[in-house]
Structure 1
Amino acid sequence: MVRMNKIFFLCFTILLTIFGVHTSTTTLISSVNSDNNTTGNNTSNARLLNNNHVTIATATGCFSSDTLVTLVNQQQILIGKLQVGDKLLSIDGTKIVSTEMMMMLDQNKFSSAMFHTIVTESQHKISLTSYHLISTINNNGDIIYIPAKDIKHGDFIRVVTNQQIYSSSVINITIEMKNGYYAPLTIIGKLLVNNIDASCYSNVKNHNIIQFFMTPFIWYYRLCRLFSIEKPFGDQTIDGIHYIPQILYEIVQSIYPSILHFT
């Protein structure tokens, strides 16, 4: 009962906060010099939260700039080309579904970040930051989302080939620096990247819980789109962290910190 009260209070607080936040770029709380980067998302735009040394950049998680996403018409485009309102493909349960791009949580065209590049037996390949969630199948056959850093050789991840969902074992993992990164958020909180099932979230222990916390933002987005507001969360072309993940992580950290991965 206490846990549910926390969840409902959090969602209510988020909903109220949306209407009180200015939609411009948030003020930098603290910056980290890119020359000192040692983890996947400690970029020059990183922001430190309180005393736990969690960066907002890490919290959003990112995909590399060479990542491809698939639109509902089967066209593949670079992740950096996504626009608010674009319809794209994702996996929900055991089905390929259509979802919609809500916002870009984080982006930087020029800064470098460290990525875990995962290759499957089916030759699918994805590069994502350490704590970004990716789907895998556990020993019980359940579909779960875990940080990229926890993926091991032989793990099975979900891929799409010829519009069919398969599981394919991981045959290679490398850690590499790449230039440019993006973190799109869709309505269902997931998307197909290079035809691999991945979450939009990072630095959380449970994909479903954080997606539940996003419900007020989704309501707000749908309401705005209903009234033909094209960009409910403001300008999506500016490099850096969007204010939404900052709001979400500050609230979650103060109310329900146990669901966060602190780095």
Structure 2
Amino acid sequence: MSFIHYDILFIRDFLLSIIQIILVTISTATGCFSSDTLVTLINLQQIPIEKLRIGDELLTIDGTKIVSTEMIMMLDQNQHSSVMFYTIITASEHKVSLTSHHLIGMINNDGDISYIPIKDIKHGDILRVITNGQIYSSPVIDIKMEIKNGYYAPLTMTGTLLVNNIDASCFSNVKNHDIVQFYMSPIRWYYRLSRLLFIEKPFGDKSVDGIHYIAQMLYEIALSIYPSILHFT
């Protein structure tokens, strides 16, 4: 009985850890990318982030290659709220605005990519950008804070996307992009299975302001099973 008891506790704690990470990712997605952000479709057309729809195929960066990814859902959106953004400009004249804890890809000293909060970006930090269909490294030359109206938080299969041709994560308010991407696997599996079954919008078509219903659902699950999981630091 004791082994069964410990196995049940292990499974419970593992599932709760998944719920917690997904909850943190979704429920703190508020803000993210400013409404004037452009994303790039696989046909190279750039569209406003607010025009993204489930199933849209986008461009992102994987290692040293430009690859495609797919829009799964809009985690959060608000067309009218005024939000404080960090706006960064690179030497290549790329520019993007994100909320303070949203992760952006930076090339570290050993050449690897680290996704860190934009508030921690400093002058001279190197970002990955796209120019004329090629990946380049470009240093940050200006950082400023400004208030803009509207924000959007899309989630893609890869957990990344190009915003104004700059490499960025879909996640915010988390310490490790890769760990969160791993724990989001169940959502990706469900999405992929649904698409194979010709379900066009597995998570519904979110067209109104506010956090996606999945965030609310996960909140209710955590609240009933383990309320203390909702006390984030």
TM over 0.5: yes
Q: Which has the higher helix share?
A: 2
Distance between the aligned counterparts of 1:96 and 1:150, measured in 2?
A: 26
Q: Which amino acid aligns with 1:163?
A: G
Cα distance per residue 1:169-223 (max 9 Å; x no partner)? 0000010000011000000100000000000000111000000010000000011
Cα distance per residue 1:74-97 (max 9 Å; x no partner)? 000000000000001001122110
1:161 equivalent in structure 2: 131
1:38 equivalent in structure 2: none
Cα distance per residue 1:155-175 (max 9 Å; x no partner)? 001101111111100000010
Choose 229-238 or 68-77, whichever is displaced more. Answer: 229-238
Mark the structure with the bigger radius of gyration. 2
Q: Which amino acid aligns with 2:147?
A: M
Cα distance per residue 1:92-136 (max 9 Å; x no partner)? 122110000000011011111110000000000000000000000
Q: CA RMSD in A?
A: 3.0
Q: Which amino acid aligns with 1:100?
A: E
Contact 2:75 2:154 in 1 (8 A): yes
Equivalences, count: 218
1:242 aligns with 2:212: yes
Contact 2:95 2:164 in 1 (8 A): yes
1:10 equivalent in structure 2: 15
Q: Where does the alignment leave 5 or more consecutive residues of structure 1 unmatched?
A: 19-48
Aligned CA distance change for structure 1 residues 162 and 6 (closer, same or farther; 3 Å) = farther
Q: TM-score, normalised by structure 1?
A: 0.75
Contact 2:71 2:156 in 1 (8 A): yes
Q: Which runs of 4+ in 1 moved over 2 A?
A: 5-14, 54-61, 243-248, 250-257
1:216 aligns with 2:186: yes
Deviation at 1:235, TM superposition (A): 2.6
Q: TM-score, normalised by structure 2?
A: 0.84
Contact 2:70 2:157 in 1 (8 A): yes
Question: Superposition pairs for residues 161-200 of structure 1, below 5 Å?
Answer: 161-200=131-170
Cα distance per residue 1:9-47 (max 9 Å; x no partner)? 238965xxx9xxxxxxxxxxxxxxxxxxxxxxxxxxxxx
1:33 equivalent in structure 2: none
Contact 2:54 2:205 in 1 (8 A): no
Taking only the aligned residue pairs, the percentage that are identical comes to: 69
Cα distance per residue 1:60-80 (max 9 Å; x no partner)? 541000000000000000000
Q: Which amino acid aligns with 2:14?
A: F
Of 28, 42, 63, which aligns to 1:72? 42
Distance between the aligned counterparts of 2:186 and 2:41, measured in 1?
A: 25
Partner SS for 2:89: strand
Aligned CA distance change for structure 1 residues 233 and 55 (closer, same or farther; 3 Å) = closer
